[in-house]
Amino acid sequence: MRLENKIRLGLIFGGRSGEHEVSLMSARSISMALDADKYEVLQIGITHEGIWLVGEDVLGVMTKSQTRGLIPATMLPDPTREGIYTFRKKQSGELLEHLADLDVVFPILHGTFGEDGTLQGLFEIAGIAYVGAGVLGSSLAMDKGVFREVLKTHAIPVVETLAVLRKDIESGIEAVLDRAEELAPYPLFVKPANLGSSVGISKCRNKSDLLEGLMEAARYDRRVLVERGVNAREIEVSVLGNDDPVASLPGEVIPGAEFYSYEAKYYDDHSELLIPAPLAPEITERVRQLAIEAYRAIDCAGMARVDFFLDKDNDELILNELNTIPGFTQISMYPKLWEASGLPYPALVDRLIELALERKQERDRIERRYYRQ
């Protein structure tokens, strides 16, 4: 039963990704920020195996790496059968039962099967409003190699990159090593093309490191990137909006380790975040401008965190990547930058939900039938 005047929100987290645990952390922060007088929230967890689950305190149960007491559920790719359905065991087998309609979903799934356009495709087919970028923006931003090729066509500076296939790493590693060493002098960075949160990233100082880095990255994706190492400051900016996006003040990451690793982002407190970043005014404005240009170039929507390198040797700005579902933990840069720019965490969550509903209204204006005159 729907509660009067409340927005029915599905908060979706977990997922089939190396960033599963990060998603749970982000979901907990969002859940705490949601106004109970404004939203009727249904928690929807997705396991590592891809099973959708609902029930009592899904987030708490899954955080303990358990699923006991939770109920399998699904969303149907059918706009006439709205919302979430559960599977109930009957003597004759499993019965699909309608659980709840939803006005909007907030997917806070980082990485594959959540941030890469696949889940967004389901939402589009199901005809439901959802927070964040659409299929195109999500998939382009997720594949860092293709993303950089798109940015080149818009004259946005990117780091020199070599893309290789896992099958080439496994069957012809010497040729891959030779091609990588031709890209640039050491150090080189190796990463999966489709992942985030620094999972699978290695800094390589020699051929031995490079070999290990390629094998590690290939565990997480069939496409692997080798990048030129840049002696750079790490600058990040948050973008918010649909057709008229705005950029936050930029921040700077001072890594506690040699680069901003998974542990540094979510667990230890050795890295330092400078907000706002100590930049010359013209560089600050250039960062914000380039972030919005990249956002528009891939038809992004809702939100993104855009990461830059600022070369220490020549002050050149290089766009590194764009994250369409950035980390949303209490120490994550995306919400912290907006807070410093005058938009507190709860208001940011509200605005993202508003943007999702606005984008759904725009999609609903599209004619789905053609009538001959």
Residue 1 within any structural domain of the chain: no
Identify whether residues 14 and 92 lie together within a single domain.
Answer: yes
Q: Does position 267 have pLDDT exceeding 60, yes or no? A: no
Residue 2 within any structural domain of the chain: no
Chosen domain end from 208, 228, 248: 228
Residue 122 within any structural domain of the chain: yes
Q: Does position 264 have pLDDT exceeding 90, yes or no? A: no
Identify whether residues 111 and 174 lie together within a single domain.
Answer: no
The predicted model scores a pTM of 0.90
User: Greater confidence, 341 or 1?
Assistant: 341
* 282-339 per-position pLDDT tens digit: 999 999 999 999 999 999 999 999 999 999 999 999 999 999 999 998 789 999 999 9
Residue 369 within any structural domain of the chain: no
Identify whether residues 213 and 292 lie together within a single domain.
Answer: no
* 32-50 per-position pLDDT tens digit: 999 999 999 999 999 999 9
CA–chain centroid gap for 50, Å, is 18
CA–CA separation, 144 vs 130, rounded Å? 23
Single out the residue of 225, 118, 114 nearest to residue 166, CA to CA.
Answer: 225
- What type of residue sits at position 22? V
Range of the domain at 92: 7-130
CA–CA separation, 349 vs 85, rounded Å? 26
Identify whether residues 100 and 242 lie together within a single domain.
Answer: no
Single out the residue of 238, 243, 235 nearest to residue 328, CA to CA.
Answer: 238
The per-residue pLDDT for 4 is 67
Identify whether residues 32 and 53 lie together within a single domain.
Answer: yes
Single out the residue of 68, 120, 78 nearest to residue 98, CA to CA.
Answer: 78
* 113-165 per-position pLDDT tens digit: 999 999 999 999 999 999 999 999 999 999 999 999 999 999 999 999 999 99
Identify whether residues 222 and 235 lie together within a single domain.
Answer: no
Identify whether residues 243 and 214 lie together within a single domain.
Answer: no
Residue 183 within any structural domain of the chain: yes
Identify whether residues 116 and 192 lie together within a single domain.
Answer: no
| CATH, residue 219 | 3.30.1490.20
Identify whether residues 153 and 166 lie together within a single domain.
Answer: no
* 227-257 per-position pLDDT tens digit: 999 999 999 999 999 999 999 999 999 986 5
CA–CA separation, 186 vs 173, rounded Å? 18
Identify whether residues 213 and 352 lie together within a single domain.
Answer: no
Residue 26 within any structural domain of the chain: yes
Residue 371 within any structural domain of the chain: no
Identify whether residues 243 and 333 lie together within a single domain.
Answer: yes
| CATH, residue 79 | 3.40.50.20
| CATH, residue 270 | 3.30.470.20
CA–CA separation, 289 vs 119, rounded Å? 29
Chosen domain end from 171, 196, 228: 228
Identify whether residues 301 and 171 lie together within a single domain.
Answer: no
Residue 273 within any structural domain of the chain: yes
What is the domain count for the chain? 3
Q: Which pLDDT band holds residue 1 (cuts at 50, 70, 90)?
A: very low
